[in-house]
Chains A and B, each alone.
Chain A
Amino acid sequence: MRRVLVLMCFSMCFSACRPPALIPPGATSQLPPSHPPILVDVAPKEAPRLLPAEAYVRTYMQLFGAQTLLEAQQKAKGKDGNQLFDNWGDYLTTLGFPDHRNDLPRARETNALMIATFERLGIALCDRAVERDFHAPMAQRIIFAFDPIDPIDSSQFAERFDVLHRTFLGYPSKLAPPGRIDRYYKLYKDTQTKHAKTRLSPTEAAWSAVCQGLIRHPEFLLY
């Protein structure tokens, strides 16, 4: 037994010490014709970038149908003082704008306060948009360029959701990850059903919620 062990040790050492065996290549063979092509993902993989604060604000202005920041501010405030919107100056730092006078750098990632700011601004935009669009001729509707029928089934919702999806996220909803349309439809229905009495009707509140869910979406804020 001992001899066998010694022999094994020797052979292992010998194997370890001698040069590695060369394995000659074998003959290549073709895939059968019926085999589907093998796809290779060669796309570079990169983390998304945060939408620059300037681009966020310009997009916001455009969605408000405003030519200037002050015009957007006025439209957001309406006649309600600071209820829905304060002043742009209150939001600049939390939106991530740099302040070169004070050497404060641009924000390159989100933080909780920025998320809160996006909510504040998103609520203002969407609430004002339902107030405006649903009482305006179709040609003048900026965000809700459709008729908000009630009741609405899932396919009718999907058609309208597609308009919003294109508006905010820049692509058709049919290309969105699975389940998105259903999630937003559920949000719509739940909001409409449970909406307490406010300035907005249940349908308006439901569409505003869908709108908020898109302007605050990671695919809106990242690119």
Chain B
Amino acid sequence: MSTPQIIPVSSDYIRILPEIVLSVFGMIIMLLDPLMDEERSQRTLGIIGLVGALAGLMATWFMGQDPGMAFWNMIRVDGFSVFFHFLILSIGAVVILTSYEYMAVQRIRAGEYYGLILFGMVGMCLMTSAVELVLIFIALEISSISTYILAGFRRRSATSSESSLKYFLLGSFATAFFLYGVAMMFGATGSTNIDVISAALRSNSIPVLAYVAMALMFVGLGFKIAAAPFHIWTPDVYEGAPAPIVGFMSTAPKAATFAVLLRLVFEANAPGRFWLVWVSAALSMTIGNLAALVQTNVKRLLAYSSIAHAGYMLVAFAAAPELGTSAVMFYAASYAAMNVGAFAVVSHLAGAGERHVTLEDYAGLGRRSPTLAAVLTIFLISLIGIPITGGFFAKFYVFSAALSANLVWLTLIGVINSAIGAYYYLKIIVVMYMRDAREEMSVPPVSWGVATALVISLAATIYLGVLPQSVLGFAQRSAKVLVQQPDAPITAGPAPIPAVHSTN
């Protein structure tokens, strides 16, 4: 009989090192903000934010050297979580780079902005390595609250405040569903730990309560990834929020939530998921693509497109565990690269007060600023899914995963949707190159921050399109580990605290 450990060991702290680093930098920013005067604060705090994100990346590498369990089996560091840590931190770093110029143009007092991004990343990273449902909920809330506030950062604009409030109210509503689902799952299986739940769900009789729990959790998580029928908030929120934040919101929390879904669905072997995912995927793709066809506001158009892309990613969920997981991981990475890049261009062109976000404002961009137009064209081509870009391989892996599982109809719906979806991306390309601007609006020169952000996104998009093997290989190895997890013995880490299982 050993005394239960109540103090975490040092290896536990290493396994949440990125989160610790990010929190520290975030707190530094929050502390420094009131101490510095307005003019210089933006520059300095922005640099600190970027340094924090980069430090987080290094911490992730460090953390990845020693995979295992932490904090009484609440946290698992494996290839899967390291992948998502890298992804989310890179997205954060690129968004911070994009924001420098944006904040200066919009004349927003920086301050908390960078701190909130870092805090948001804490939540998202934690979500991907947590294997304890309550911890997932906490991390989900951390990330959500940060993004609620960030969405309303353009304080002088009514649409921004509206989008923040809508996001907050609806988001809390949906998260409540999730929490209720967690409670149900505890009632059904007696634990909130994913490994224990998965063992319980693999037995022959699964209580109805587990199904209901799964449904409720799906509502909450589906909201965050903007899957139909829980997508209704996306267009309004994306339209109002600041453009770099939309780039952040559409990629990082989505990736983190997909990581949670992957753990729930494949690791915990959630029951009854097939038709749920099938219908949700088909609806998301169709509604997202159809509604985007007539949009004239670029941010709203990209919002609907992100609903459609959530649909494509969900298709992989209906497929086999290993193939599906690696396909979703690759898709999350390539979607992040192209979407963050696209929103970087949108942020740059938006102008003070975000005046220039409609298609009309992009007319003749091919002539006014050829490099910027070419870069945006490559991101749009990637979103369409044309070869040489990461978007093509991403769609390709998802559809081949689906076909390996004989999901012919879903694949057909998917490919037809991607063809139809090509139209609205093409519309932007057409407007840029084939129409002339009504008045000669000059495009301001690109600052170093936006330029670096664009170079990174562009390089990632093309790299994933030409040499996808390294990223895909990593994803596949991580997926294998994830899927086999319940059979593998719970490795390093102290014994679980008995208190968790005592009451019944």
The answer to whether A and B come from one shared complex is no
Please give the residue numbers on chain B whose beta carbons come within 8 Å of chain A beta carbons, in ascending order: none
Residues of A within 8 A of B (CB): none
